[in-house]
Each structure stands twice: as structure tokens, then as C-alpha cells.
Amino acid sequence: MANGKRMTTALKAVDREKDYPLTEAVKIVKSNAKAKFDETIEVALNLGVDPRHADQMVRGTVLLPNGTGKTLRVAVFAKGPKADEAKAAGADIVGADDLFAQVNEGKIEFDRCIATPDMMGVVGRLGKVLGPRGLMPNPKLGTVTMDVSAAVKAAKGGQVEFRVEKAGLIHAGVGKASFSEAQLEQNVRALIDAVMKAKPTGAKGTYLKKVSVSSTMGPGVKVEVPSVLAH
């Protein structure tokens, strides 16, 4: 089935004006995910914040109960025993000055970057390369740490980073179309719980304004906000 035809069929299954309960929205999105590959299921949240103000920034991590269905490639900046610890935990790339040179040349073969605190002097010089890609290690996200083993295992085990964009939006993948409806719903709730806990002090009025769920190739399905806040 051609993409256009598939999308037309999928759109007929969705009332674009309606907000669906989360359980129903997940069911519709999953049933519409008919591409030849295992589509990623994504959540979009519209928040009542202006991230240009420091006290309205929303950022954090969440360990999804059912993982993401995706294997992240993890790089660790570390030396000596900490480098050995990172390798033992399953890090894909481990290095120090050699890894700096590689990244500085634009060779980025990883999805998550972790560093020990003593390496931040080196990593900090890569801000212009790693920053725009959202890969800069950050103590608040647990990616600048002496416990590199735990950080690597969390990244490999389904930890998702979220960060609000300019328009107050957060996008995050919460699993694959091959997941069960219950697994997807649990992951969506875990993400939204984490975002709610990360509510900044400067947020005024309605914090969680809109929620929608979609698959890589499918249309977005709007979700009733109360249905994601109720457990």
C-alpha cells in the first residue's frame, strides 16, 4: 500500500476534532501502524511554559517500564578504572582525548553521551558539536556521574530524555508498534508522570495543555488530558 493510500485509510479511522481517552488513542495508533517496519510510537505534549525563561524550562529523564524497543548507542568519556567500568556495563564507545578528537571532527556514532566529572573540562570544549544535538552530558540528567555503570545500564535499559522546545512542546518516543497496548499505555503514563514532576516554578496557569499520540507513519490522535492524569 502506498504511503498516501495508507495515510488516507488511517485518517478515516481518526476523528481529528475529538480527544480520545488514552486507552482508546493507543489502540487507534497501534492499529494504524501498518508500515513494513516496526514504527516508533511517539507522544507530543503541549505545555503552558515559555522555555526562554530559565524558571520555565522543563527537562529530565524517565526510565520507561517497558523500555523503548530501541537499542541506544552509548559513548562514555572516562579514563582508567572508570573506562573499564563503562565497557563492562555495555558502553559502545569509551575514550578520553581520542574520543574528543573523533567527536570534534564530527564523527558522532552514538545516541547518548555520558562523562565522569573529571572529563568535563575536555567534554565542555565540544559544546558546539554536542549541544545542538542534545548530547551534552548534564549532571541534572545523570549523564555526568562517577557511577558510569548505572548510567550506561539506564541508557541501555529504556531511559528517555525529554526537553521542552521553543513552542512549549515535548516530543518523545515511548515504544514500538509491536508493543502491546498495555505496555504502550504504561510507558505514556510514565513519561507524563515524569514531565508533571518536572513542572518548573515559573509555570503559571494550565501546565499540561494538550497530549497527542502518533506512530512514525500515522496521523496524530488527540488524547483527553484528564485520562492521562488519572490512574
Cα torsion 159, 165, 169, 171: sign: negative
* Eight-class DSSP state of 223: E
Rounded CA-CA distance 77/94 in Å is 6
Reported as a single tens digit per residue, the pLDDT across 16-25 is 789 999 999 9
pTM of the prediction?
0.81
**CA-to-CA separations, 181 to 66, 74, 83, in angstroms, rounded:** 11, 28, 39
User: What whole-number distance in Å separates Cα of residue 26 and Cα of residue 221?
Assistant: 8
Model confidence pLDDT, tens digit, residues 176-231: 999 999 999 999 999 999 999 999 999 989 999 999 999 999 889 999 999 998 66
Residue 6 is placed in which grid cell?
495508507
Give the pLDDT score at 57: 93
**Per-residue burial over 103-121, b = 16 or more CB atoms within 10 Å of its CB, e = otherwise:** beeeebebbbbbbbeebee
pLDDT tens for 114-159 read 999 999 999 999 999 999 998 999 998 899 999 999 999 999 988 9
User: End-to-end distance of the chain based on CA atoms, in angstroms?
Assistant: 38
How far apart are alpha carbons 145 and 155 in whole angstroms?
13
Reported residue count of the chain is 231
Q: What is the 3-state secondary structure (H, E, C) of 161-221?
A: EEECCCCCEEEEEEEECCCCHHHHHHHHHHHHHHHHHCCCCCCCCCCEEEEEEEECCCCCE
